[in-house]
Amino acid sequence: MGIINQYALDNGLSEINLNLGCGGRPITGWINIDNYDYQDGDHSRSGSDYDIKMDLRQLDVAPATVDKILLVHVLEHFVRWETLDLLQYFRTLLRPKGQLIVEMPDFWKCIELVLRGKDAPHMSTPLGPMNMGMTQFYGNQWDRLDYETHRYVWGIDEFTSALTEAGYAVLLASHEAQWHLKGRDMLVVAEAPSATAAGPLDKSIA
Ligand SMILES: C[S@@+](CC[C@H](N)C(=O)[O-])C[C@H]1O[C@@H](n2cnc3c(N)ncnc32)[C@H](O)[C@@H]1O
């Protein structure tokens, strides 16, 4: 049994719902996981309030035992190919019909904000006021914290295609972001397959 399964058992959790890369936004009743402690001078997070410190690329959890995986503003921290690998990896951890929920910036909405220029919302940074579209292309480039760097910003159609190719069914793809910036960010909910597809042997038996 993995450390995460044991944590769920010890805490009487009836479901294993993982909030990966939780930062300063833990969710009650979920298992909040992050791999980086909060450091002074981190201007992008309010904290790192994890239940378990672990790298989300190597989760100690039994396959097909996770009900939900949530990633809020996390996947843009990985290069494209690594996210593709992660989609496959998460699918092996999810139960049949388990859900993957992702909120992150949409490349094309960020472009729209950049093109709006001064009319678009800005945030204050140590580098001065920064356009809320522009902030997403490279992430935090002022705190010298590698885990705050953005490495790839997905377009919503590109991301939902990647989910489909990885074997998920996309249940929702919208810009009704719940945690960060509505309109700029995508909120995507996808479901793992109900069961492993039948192989040639299973078909001959049927
Ligand atoms: C932009 S923050 C988002 C935090 C939080 N989900 C939120 O919406 O406020 C990205 C988070 O991903 C975490 N992170 C980055 N790489 C990680 C990894 N390999 N394993 C676990 N957490 C990681 C960082 O430590 C950081 O807390």
Hey, which of 20, 35, 74, 76 would you mutate to test ligand 1's pocket, going by the most ligand atoms within 8 Å of its Cβ?
A: 74
Residue 194 lies in a domain: yes
| Domain total of the chain | 1
Q: What is the CATH number of the domain that holds 83?
A: 3.40.50.150
Average pLDDT of the segment spanning 118-138: 94
34 lines ligand 1 (CB under 6 A): yes
What does each C-alpha distance from 16 to 78, 82, 136, 196 come to in angstroms? 24, 24, 30, 20
- Within a domain: 112: no
pLDDT, one tens digit per residue, over 12-67 is 999 999 999 999 999 999 999 999 999 888 888 889 999 999 999 999 999 999 99
Asked whether residue 48 is assigned to any structural domain, the reply reads yes
Per the DSSP assignment, residues forming a β-bridge with 129 are 124
The best mutation among 4, 31, 36 to test binding of ligand 1, ranked by most ligand atoms within 8 Å of the C-beta, falls on: 36
Whether ligand 1 lies within 6 angstroms of the CB of 45 is answered as yes
Span 169-187, mean pLDDT?
A: 97
β-strands 31-34, 52-53 pairing: parallel
Q: Whose CA is nearest to atom 27 of ligand 1?
A: 23
Tell me what pLDDT residue 108 has: 98
**Host domain of residue 14:** 3-104+149-200
Which ligand 1 atom is at minimum distance from the Cα of 48? 27
Q: How far apart are CA 22 and CA 49, in angstroms?
A: 7
Listed in sequence order, the DSSP H helices in the chain are 3-10, 80-93, 107-116, 134-138, 156-165, 200-205
3-state SS assignment for residue 79: coil
Is the minimum distance from the CB of 55 to ligand 1 under 6 angstroms?
A: yes
- pLDDT value of residue 45: 86
In a domain? residue 119: no
Percent of the chain with pLDDT over 70: 95
Half-sphere exposure of 38 (CA within 13 A, CB side): 13
Most confident by average pLDDT, 18-27, 34-43, 144-153, 192-201: 18-27
Question: Does ligand 1 have an atom closer than 6 angstroms to the CB of 74?
Answer: yes
CA of 146 to the centre of ligand 1 (A): 11
Residue 59 domain-assigned (yes or no): yes
pLDDT at res. 204: 37
Residue type, 3: I
In a domain, 51, yes or no: yes
Whose CA is closest to atom 24 on ligand 1? Answer: 21
Stretch among 30-44, 115-129, 131-145, 189-203 having the lowest mean pLDDT: 189-203
Q: At 205, is the pLDDT very low, low, confident or very high (cuts 50, 70, 90)?
A: very low
Q: Would you state the torsion angle of the CA atoms of residues 94, 95, 96, 101, taken in this order, to the nearest 10 degrees?
A: -40
Specify whether the CB–CB gap between 186 and 108 falls below 8 A.
Answer: no
Q: What pLDDT digit, counting tens, does each position of 78-117 carry? A: 999 999 999 999 999 999 999 999 999 999 999 999 999 9
Q: Which of 67, 62, 44 is nearest to 148 (CA)?
A: 44
- CA of 20 from ligand 1 middle (Å) equals 7
Residue 126 lies in a domain: no
Domain membership of residue 78 (yes or no) is: yes
pLDDT, residue 152, reads 98
